[in-house]
Structure 1
Amino acid sequence: MYRKTIYVFQNDKPLLATVRQYERKDIAALIEVQKESFPPPFSSDLWWSMEQLEEHITRFPEGALCVETDGEIAGSMTALRINHQHYIHKHQWEIVTDDGYIRNHNPDGDTLYVVDISVKPTFRKYGLGKLMMQSMYHIVIQQGISSLMGGARMPGYGKLQNQLSPEKYIEQVVSGQRKDPVVSFLLRCGRVPVTLLPDYLEDEESAHYALLMEWKNPFI
């Protein structure tokens, strides 16, 4: 069982946070994280269902993490194992994640693929997302697999799609000329760009694009 407790900070204010595997008793709280993280205009159909969370816990509990503080679950992150060669080229979120059910999880897969990461808005300045990402890197190392990958939304791109190509937009984000809420966050977490993924997710904010990003196991 993975469990890590450390202090995180908002400016100089410390907060004791614990990253651990989520369990069945956490399901209602995990759905609440989704509701607060993805309010309208996001559809409630995008929130985790009880059935999906049951699959995460049953099929790959090591990839089902949450962060908790003062008894409240503030965020969650989910991943599955895949074979890198099957998904390195263009793919869609619903295909690579089995529409979020991860029934395609491969216990022998060489790559940890991020399905989702969510943090409640009231906790977003404490670095809890980065803390969970680092915890997933620990899982990569512990399981002896080659890398962590995932498609990053590009929510800053939708409003600029008539002015910039997606390639130019990402070039400007990586060079520091622009800031994207998701891509910039993942760059700070140590992820690096691999390739653009068109039609990755029904996501008008990102013009339906995502950026495949990777963190490689430094011990392999």
Structure 2
Amino acid sequence: MIAKKILNDTFLIRNAKVEDAIQMEYVQSRCYPTLHESEILDRNHFANHIKVFPEGQIVVEKDGIIVASASSFRCDFPEHDSTFLEETDNLWITNVQIPNGDWMYGIDMGVLPEYRGLGLSKEMYKARNEVCAALGLKGQIIAGMTIGYGKVKDQMTIEEYCKKVMNNEIIDPTITPQRSAGFRWIRPLYNYINDPESGFGSILMYKPVDENYYL
């Protein structure tokens, strides 16, 4: 389980508790303003995640207030493409959690806007890798939203955008930092998530515990 001070002891990163669910819901509501309401996690979803896979739910707090959170479940490597709702059991994770799965699938990570740029996402990714190592997992999987597409959607298709991001011709506010945090490109997921600003797409990526491991 995770519980430690980070960033010059300014923040506490730890595993989430059921009583954190209301504050986690608030973080979620502030982080995804263009995401369809059917794909927004609420307090009941967070509480269930903590029940199903407590090791994989993480929060960051400052002075007792939660300013960031991350949710995940344990699974086998996804062989086939699916939508966000299909992948997450309609946000509940109950029926997709595999107790002996080899991977941690990160389905959500949010930082309150006023605390962005401090490195909190990177700290949560590091904490997830520590959990993966402790549980003997191969690493993390994420589907990073191509959130920067909205600014150029009149200039190119989402397919063209993804190719440019992959080739580092375009900096995406989500994908580029995730790759800097050690995530490796697998493939784009088109029509994955109901968010027009992301072109309804995401990028499937992985971050292994052992850096010498490759898919």
Structure 2 gaps of 5+ residues are none
Match of 1:18 among 6, 12, 16: 12
* Residue aligning to 1:143: 135
Percent identity, aligned pairs only, is 27
Alpha-carbon distance in 1 for matches of 2:196, 2:168: 23
Alpha-carbon distance in 2 for matches of 1:6, 1:159: 34
* Residue aligning to 1:213: 205
Alpha-carbon distance in 2 for matches of 1:97, 1:43: 15
Alpha-carbon distance in 1 for matches of 2:40, 2:157: 30
Q: Deviations over 1:160-210 (max 9, x none)?
A: 345434444233224332111110110111101101111101110111111
Given residue 4 of structure 1, which amino acid in structure 2 is its aligned partner? K
Give 1:38 deviation, angstroms.
2.5
Match of 1:71 among 64, 71, 76: 64
Output the aligned Cα RMSD. 1.9
Alpha-carbon distance in 2 for matches of 1:187, 1:180: 10
Alpha-carbon distance in 1 for matches of 2:38, 2:82: 21
Match of 1:97 among 88, 99, 117: 88
Give 1:149 deviation, angstroms.
0.6
* Residue aligning to 2:149: 157
Q: Is the 8 A contact 1:192 1:215 kept in 2?
A: yes
Q: Is the 8 A contact 1:35 1:44 kept in 2?
A: no
Give 1:34 deviation, angstroms.
1.4
When structure 1 is superposed on structure 2, of 45-54 and 17-26 the one drifting more is 45-54
* 1:111-126 alignment, distance < 5 Å: 111-126=103-118
Structure 1 residues 143 and 53 mapped into 2: Cα distance closer, same or farther (>3 Å)? same
Structure 1 residues 112 and 182 mapped into 2: Cα distance closer, same or farther (>3 Å)? same
Structure 1 residues 166 and 36 mapped into 2: Cα distance closer, same or farther (>3 Å)? closer
Alpha-carbon distance in 1 for matches of 2:206, 2:32: 24
Give the secondary-structure state (helix, strand or coil) at the position aligned to 1:152: strand
Q: Is the 8 A contact 1:17 1:69 kept in 2?
A: yes
Structure 1 residues 217 and 155 mapped into 2: Cα distance closer, same or farther (>3 Å)? same
Normalising by the residue count of structure 1, what TM-score does the alignment of the two structures yield? 0.88
Given residue 3 of structure 2, which amino acid in structure 1 is its aligned partner? R
Alpha-carbon distance in 2 for matches of 1:130, 1:113: 16
* Residue aligning to 1:4: 4
Between the two proteins, the alignment pairs up a number of residues equal to 211
Alpha-carbon distance in 1 for matches of 2:142, 2:99: 18
Normalising by the residue count of structure 2, what TM-score does the alignment of the two structures yield? 0.90
Given residue 20 of structure 2, which amino acid in structure 1 is its aligned partner? D
Q: Deviations over 1:50-102 (max 9, x none)?
A: 32112111110000100111211110000101111xx2331111111112111
Structure 1 gaps of 5+ residues are 9-14
Alpha-carbon distance in 2 for matches of 1:179, 1:46: 25
Alpha-carbon distance in 1 for matches of 2:202, 2:37: 21
